[in-house]
Structure 1
Amino acid sequence: MKTMKLPKEQRDQVIQRIQQYFEEERGETIGDLAADGVFEFFMSQLAPIVYNQALSDSRHLVRQQMSSLEEDLYALEYQMKQTR
């Protein structure tokens, strides 16, 4: 799977948030390079999982909508009246 590319502004924001997290939660100061490494690691590990879950959710939604559409189409059918 190809690594997702974020715009520079978003990437910079994420790196700042990683640095803030390390400072607040762990009392550690990390530089841009280390924060970028953490970001790349999590992207490589989490992106495929999130991507696959999004596909699964999409398939489920499409199935629901197709089922609803099929019910609507059956409702439009003319019913043959039986005569006796």
Structure 2
Amino acid sequence: MAEIRFSEDEKAQIVRRIRLYFDQELRQEIGRFDAEFLLDFFSNEVGGYFYNRGLSDAQAVLSNKIDELGEAIYQLEKPTEFRK
């Protein structure tokens, strides 16, 4: 798996959300550096779990769509003397 990377804008937004969470939910102030460190930790240590879940979800959606497409194609078949 490739390393999870965020653009500078994405990283800044995530860091702001982390700092806001700490302030509002934990009643603790956390600096930008500490929030970036925490983001890097979660990206490296648990990001793969979220990434893999996303891939699994995407695979399930794709599989369902392929099944639907197969059914739609089957519905288009014309009756003939030959059976499969």
Both proteins in one fold, TM over 0.5: yes
| 1:25-40 matches, cutoff 5 A | 25-40=25-40
User: What residue ranges of structure 1 are gaps of 5+ in the alignment?
Assistant: none
1:69 to 2:69 alignment:
yes
User: What residue ranges of structure 2 are gaps of 5+ in the alignment?
Assistant: none
Change (3 A) 1:21 1:72: closer
1:19 to 2:19 alignment:
yes
Aligned match of 2:7: 7
**Structure 1 residue 5 displacement after superposition:** 1.6
Compute the RMSD of aligned alpha carbons: 2.0
> For 2:21 and 2:55, how far apart are their aligned partners in 1?
30
**Structure 1 residue 2 displacement after superposition:** 2.6
**Structure 1 residue 38 displacement after superposition:** 0.8
CA-to-aligned-CA distance 1:48-79 (integer Å, 9 cap, x gap)? 11211111112111221111111122222221
Structure 1 or 2, whichever has the larger Rg, is 1
Which amino acid in structure 2 is aligned with residue 29 of structure 1?
Answer: E
> For 2:23 and 2:73, how far apart are their aligned partners in 1?
58
**Structure 1 residue 35 displacement after superposition:** 0.9
Q: Secondary structure at the match of 2:46?
A: helix
